[in-house]
A and B are shown apart, each in its own frame.
Chain A
Amino acid sequence: KNQVEQSPQSLIILEGKNCTLQCNYTVSPFSNLRWYKQDTGRGPVSLTIMTFSENTKSNGRYTATLDADTKQSSLHITASQLSDSASYICVVTLENYGQNFVFGPGTRLSVLP
């Protein structure tokens, strides 16, 4: 069964600290993996996308990594800001003509001053 798991479920850190969120997937056939940020009460917004051959992608203070062999991805946030408080969702796209996106449950990050 195609599945995406994320850990931790929730995380609290102090402003200025770094953190890493994890995503493990059992999805086939794999096309790409995205990380989305979802602010409270809003729709998700894409942060990064990685295909099978890409193992790292940065977007400002966000850096995503992908290990296609172990089927793991991580999202590292550097020098966290209060505005980073949000849910972060890992989404894997299947490589077929259907619209198959497999969503993880998300990690809820709270950044405290």
Chain B
Amino acid sequence: DVKVTQSSRYLVKRTGEKVFLECVQDMDHENMFWYRQDPGLGLRLIYFSYDVKMKEKGDIPEGYSVSREKKERFSLILESASTNQTSMYLCASSLVSLRREQFFGPGTRLTVL
């Protein structure tokens, strides 16, 4: 069974704090993704990575950065959290293939006060 785990289920931070969200997958997947999910907007891609130390911007990268130092681990960093970054954050991983299925973690509900 593929497992994608995220470091926290719920997180409360204050405006201006630096926030780290960590994601780990155990199936040796090449690709990893960070999304945010807001009501009525669906999932929006923040960043993805197709290899160690490689990253590409998604649709809404502003205010976020990522790090992938090891294949199984993909971190999302909010350098200075703002209230409009309050959201559900979902990490996913997948193989490189046309039928690739994304496997999602349980999500982190981040609230920025």
With A and B bound together, what is the CA distance between A89 and B94 in angstroms? 18
State the Cβ distance, A43 to closest chain B Cβ, in Å: 3
Number of interface residues of A (CB under 8 A): 23
A49/B99 in contact, CB under 8 A: yes
Cβ-defined partner of A43 (8 Å) among B4, B40, B44, B94: B4
B98/A43 in contact, CB under 8 A: no
- Chain A residue numbers with a CB within 8 Å of B106 are 41-43
B107/A41 in contact, CB under 8 A: yes
Q: Taking A42-B107, A43-B107, A105-B42 as contacts, is the C-beta distance between A99 and B99 under 8 angstroms? A: no
Q: Which residues on A are within 8 Å of B, measured CB to CB?
A: 9, 31-32, 34, 41-46, 49, 51, 89, 91, 93, 95, 98-99, 101, 103-106
Q: Which residues on B are within 8 Å of A, measured CB to CB?
A: 4, 9, 31, 33, 40-45, 48, 50, 56, 90, 92, 94, 98-102, 104-107, 109
